[in-house]
Structure 1
């Protein structure tokens, strides 16, 4: 799991695409690659690069200042398609900590929450307004305030969002499910000791 997610402020990039599937986020041929310093190059690889490896100027994340984005503002059905945690790993490697969209693929939504990437569902009109804002004013920063469940655009509106309580608690504490289990280690050890005595 990443570090605790409390508040996060970053440049936002507008992704004017709906139905972005996990194979677009990370093509299947990279699935077995190690999570090393090259991993960020796999994110949106075929959208970002030509077959000969040159950057595509028409893809938003290749253009300054959007190439420094930490928040994506997408359209509906982000992360649909096959189940692959690697899609979340690739976005995190690229520096993306939150994705705002009208809707998400169910498995991607779950994988994101378990690995420290915050998927924020907002109404279509709100997503459109945010994409228009950050496209019109490149470099615009958004702030995610997870303790308050708010997404804030400086000088603009604040948007309330909701995520499951358990996932929110884990994000705030920087814990995945294994890490959460380790926080219960004293109780687990006490239970095992008592069970051994009873036997």
Structure 2
């Protein structure tokens, strides 16, 4: 069973860029691995490091700034995760420690891959996202709370409601990945199998 997501509070890192594609999230040279761990080191590799070997952090890149150390919520702009389909993109984000991304729009395939890997995507209006960027700029290191049960993003006494597909919400809250969903119907599957002719079992 996957990790359950009901509510999460964490430092917000503002990635103020639209149309961030999957090659920027995890460059193609790091796609050889087939396990889900180890990709966080290379998240936004071309932006995070000043050298080709990945030894010199780029001090201007937002993830390298001290105020955002340990960030677990990302704030971004429209069409995040566009480009080629690669499940490694949400693998890299979650391996780094990102548990939720807030933005004004996400590429469809990236959204599906994120859901399948228990990475919550929160879609808000551009005006709401603009407001959040202003708040984080005024107070770097600010913490947000993403409440999936009540479908709200909370900052102090302010709340932004968000919509999410009910099936995806159910799966995230209950920690159900594709295997977990199948196991929920284990008894039904076994009963169906027993009804089949012996030569098909």
TM-score normalised by the chain length of structure 1? 0.93
Match among 150, 153, 159 for residue 152 of structure 2? 150
Structure 2 vs 1, CA of residues 67 and 116 (structure 1 numbering), >3 Å: closer, same or farther? Answer: same
CA drift of 1:33 comes to 2.4
CA contact (8 A) 1:6 1:145 kept: yes
Match of residue 22 from structure 2: 22
Unaligned runs of 5+ in 1: none
Cα deviation per residue 1:29-84 (whole Å; 9 max; x = unaligned)?
10112547642111111110122420001110111121211001101110000101
CA drift of 1:86 comes to 0.3
Cα deviation per residue 1:150-177 (whole Å; 9 max; x = unaligned)?
111124x211111111111111111112
CA RMSD of aligned residues (A): 1.7
Match of residue 164 from structure 2: 163
2:95 paired with 1:93? yes
SS of corresponding position for 2:80: coil
CA contact (8 A) 2:103 2:122 kept: yes
CA contact (8 A) 1:49 1:55 kept: yes
Cα deviation per residue 1:112-149 (whole Å; 9 max; x = unaligned)?
11110011110001111111111211221111111111
State the 4+ residue runs in structure 1 displaced beyond 6 angstroms. none
Structure 2 vs 1, CA of residues 124 and 194 (structure 1 numbering), >3 Å: closer, same or farther? Answer: same
TM-score normalised by the chain length of structure 2? 0.92
Per mean C-alpha deviation after superposition, the further-off stretch among 70-79 and 51-60 is 51-60
2:69 paired with 1:61? no
SS of corresponding position for 1:10: strand
Number of residue pairs the alignment of both structures matches: 197
Match of residue 192 from structure 1: 193
Name the CA distance, whole Å, in 1 between partners of 2:151 and 2:37.
Answer: 32
Q: What does 1:13-162 correspond to in 2, within 5 Å?
A: 13-35=13-35, 38-50=38-50, 51-53=52-54, 54-155=56-157, 157-162=158-163
Name the CA distance, whole Å, in 2 between partners of 1:103 and 1:128.
Answer: 13
